[in-house]
Amino acid sequence: MDLNKIFNNRGFELITVSVDDAENLGKVLKFLEKEACSLPEAIQQTLVNEKRTTNNYQYKSSDKDVLADALDAKWRGGYPHTVLIAPEGEVLYRQTGDIDVLELRKAIVKFLGRTYAGRQWGN
């Protein structure tokens, strides 16, 4: 969540997918609100263009293999699973279990550049 706050003005978008059971949806949404996992202004037009209303999703099927195949073909199960994907679809970082925040940040900075003069995520 902290990395989202750091990079969201550069076009970076954090998309969350919860696999919790439907009865836990309220807890999931409460957590996201508490962590301020909101939609930055820089991303709002992307949602409009893609006809989306959120960047936080609830996966409702019991078949988690379908989700794994759709998100990351190299995902072998386990949660949480984090994938950093460039706009062109290249996987820049993946981790099942706890993330190494420094390694994830390095992957984001390597793609974007160290300063705002570097590229914007959506460009």
Q: 65, 78, 112: which is closest to 92 by C-alpha?
A: 112
Who's near 108: CB < 8 A, 6+ residues apart? 3, 7, 12, 84, 92, 93
**Domain contains 11:** yes
The whole domain housing 31 covers 2-112
Distance separating alpha carbons of residues 88 and 123, to the nearest angstrom: 10
Q: Residue 120 domain-assigned?
A: no
pTM of the model: 0.76
Determine the pLDDT at residue 38.
64
User: Residue 8 domain-assigned?
Assistant: yes
How many domains is the chain built from?
A: 1
Does position 22 have pLDDT exceeding 80, yes or no? no
**Structural domain includes residue 47:** yes
pLDDT recorded at residue 122: 57
Q: Which of 59, 60, 108 is nearest to 71 (CA)?
A: 59
pLDDT value at 84 more than 80: yes
For residue 108, pLDDT beyond 60: yes
Q: Is residue 33 part of a domain?
A: yes
Q: Does residue 122 lie within any of the structural domains?
A: no
Kindly state whether residue 93 falls inside one of the protein's structural domains.
Answer: yes
Question: Within a domain: residue 118?
Answer: no
